[in-house]
Amino acid sequence: MPSGQGVMAFDYGTRRIGVAIGNSISRVGHPLKTISHANAQMRFQEIEDLLKEWQPDQLVVGLPVHPDGTEHEMTQKAKRFGNQLHGRFHLPVQWVDERYTSAVLEGDAKMQDNLDSHSAALILEQFFAELAAKQNKSIG
């Protein structure tokens, strides 16, 4: 990834979608908001508004899996959501293993009000960490 690219991350859930933003220079995820519309079209409209405002170059979606790494029902729903993002907005989508993000945050009382967007920020930081590890591996 060229330096300076903006990345928007999503912590997908059937009731709420956490959203965070970051860039490949700072490699820090910043929680933006939690989308909680019951109507799918309204959720995608809110996502479209955020994409217009922030203009990311790439999207990241957290991929929920069991602790042993096997997929479950939400894994397929998150994949479908990521595919819908790609189809609607024509931006590249990467998936990041999110199996421990909510668990890390749930114990922190300060995170309770906006847990989903903070989870999205952790997913984004995990994406940046994995990207850095791949770059270091290819250099070394």
What are the E-state strand segments in 37-134?
58-63, 93-97
**CA-wise closest residue to 62 among 93, 106, 37, 39:** 93
**CA-wise closest residue to 99 among 122, 79, 76:** 122
Residue type, 87: G
pLDDT higher at 136 or 98? 98
> How many other CB atoms are found less than 10 A from the CB of residue 95?
16
pTM of the predicted model as reported, rounded to 2 decimal places = 0.86
Q: Which two tokens stand for residue 126?
A: 């995990």
Which residues pair with residue 13 across a beta bridge?
none
pLDDT in tens, 13-58: 889 999 999 998 888 999 999 999 889 899 999 999 999 999 999 9
Q: Does domain 6-139 have CATH number 3.40.630.10?
A: no
Q: Which two tokens stand for residue 123?
A: 């997913």
CA 34 to the chain's CA centroid: 12
Where do the domains of the chain lie?
Answer: 6-139
Distances (CA, A) of 20 to 7, 27, 35: 8, 12, 11
* Percent of residues, the chain, with pLDDT higher than 70: 84
pLDDT confidence tier of residue 1, bands split at 50, 70 and 90: very low
The mean pLDDT of 95-124, rounded to a whole number, is 72
CA atoms of 41 and 76, how far apart (whole Å): 19
